[in-house]
């Protein structure tokens, strides 16, 4: 969601099992993000992003998984000086695929490594050109997940993700920037199932360390996040 002091994220998703073996499923979600102004720490101060996302997951083996997705994002942009008014709104269409391999370190502990490749295309609200034409971005993520308890399927997850990208620009003249490191995201999540319901909840914290940003001098952008997912089991009668 860009440079800020603090930010918040809230998402609601629908996870649909596509086969009886639970090897394939879809995950669709809508989310909103808000963030602070540069002069305060109110993580709900300004609208930061609206997201619609649809992803399909397939298991190759018990330890290997791949997925592909289509995403739409609507993101306001604000002036860099007081009173930090909104000056534009940018649209983004994103295509991406990812591959993951999971190691079982013990009965409770898993170690998952993921590579994700994205294509990001940008427009203004009238589908006209903006300064950045498109971007190719690579994301590398490692995550430890520990099963706390079988009661309510409680887990904790610790992750670190590095982002690298190269962009094609319209302005000031058509050009590419160099491919390089842009961000690091460090996160911790607590995950559980709501008893006697089809819903699971993830509650977490993330620190987004954006290279060459103002926030990097203050330890990055500090996020609080919550995801609620409605789990729909496989039903062969739907096919």
pLDDT, tens only, 157-193: 999 999 999 999 998 889 999 999 999 999 999 999 9
Alpha carbons 153 and 127: distance in angstroms, whole number: 44
Average of per-residue pLDDT across 195-223 = 93
Residue 190 domain boundaries = 6-238
User: Does the structure show a pLDDT above 90 at 206?
Assistant: yes
Alpha carbons 85 and 32: distance in angstroms, whole number: 19
pLDDT given at position 3: 86
User: How many domains does the chain contain in total?
Assistant: 1
Alpha carbons 236 and 239: distance in angstroms, whole number: 5
Percent of the chain clearing pLDDT 70 (strictly above)? 98
pLDDT given at position 136: 98
CB neighbour list of residue 60: distance below 8 Å, 6 or more residues apart: 66
Write down the pTM of the prediction: 0.93
CB neighbour list of residue 162: distance below 8 Å, 6 or more residues apart: 139, 140, 141, 181, 183, 184
Provide φ and ψ at 157, rounded to 5°: -135, 135
The partner residues of 102 in beta bridges, in order of sequence, read: 112
Q: How far is CA 55 from the centre of its chain?
A: 12
In a domain, 103, yes or no: yes
User: Which residue's structure tokens are 């199932």?
Assistant: 193
User: Does the structure show a pLDDT above 80 at 238?
Assistant: no
Q: How far is CA 22 from the centre of its chain?
A: 23
pLDDT given at position 236: 63
In a domain, 117, yes or no: yes
User: Does the structure show a pLDDT above 50 at 239?
Assistant: no
Q: What is the CATH number of the domain that holds 119?
A: 2.40.128
In a domain, 1, yes or no: no
The partner residues of 66 in beta bridges, in order of sequence, read: 58, 99
Averaged pLDDT of the chain: 94
CB neighbour list of residue 34: distance below 8 Å, 6 or more residues apart: 7, 8, 43, 44, 45, 46, 47, 48
In a domain, 122, yes or no: yes
pLDDT given at position 139: 98
Nearest-10 Cα torsion for 56, 61, 63, 66: -30
């Amino acid at each position: 969601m860009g440079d800020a002091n603090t930010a918040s994220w809230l998402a609601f998703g629908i996870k649909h099992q596509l086969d009886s073996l639970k090897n394939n499923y879809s995950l669709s979600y809508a989310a909103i993000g808000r963030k602070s102004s540069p002069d305060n720490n109110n993580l709900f101060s300004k609208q930061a992003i609206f997201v619609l996302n649809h992803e399909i997951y397939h298991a190759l083996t018990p330890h290997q998984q791949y997925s592909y997705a289509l995403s739409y994002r609507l993101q306001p942009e604000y002036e860099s000086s007081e009173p930090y008014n909104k000056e534009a709104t940018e649209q983004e269409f994103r295509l991406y695929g990812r591959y993951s391999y999971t190691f079982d370190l013990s009965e409770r502990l898993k170690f998952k490594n993921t590579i994700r490749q994205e294509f990001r295309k940008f427009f203004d609200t009238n589908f006209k050109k903006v300064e950045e034409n498109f971007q190719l971005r690579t994301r590398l993520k490692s995550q430890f997940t520990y099963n706390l308890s079988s009661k309510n399927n409680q887990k904790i997850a610790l992750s670190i993700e590095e982002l690298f990208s190269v962009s094609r620009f319209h302005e000031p003249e058509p050009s590419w920037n160099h491919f390089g490191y842009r961000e690091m995201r460090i996160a911790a999540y607590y995950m559980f199932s709501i008893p006697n319901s089809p819903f699971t909840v993830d509650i977490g914290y993330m620190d987004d360390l954006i290279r060459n940003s103002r926030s990097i001098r203050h330890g990055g952008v500090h996020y609080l996040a919550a995801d609620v997912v409605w789990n729909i089991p496989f039903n062969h009668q739907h096919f």
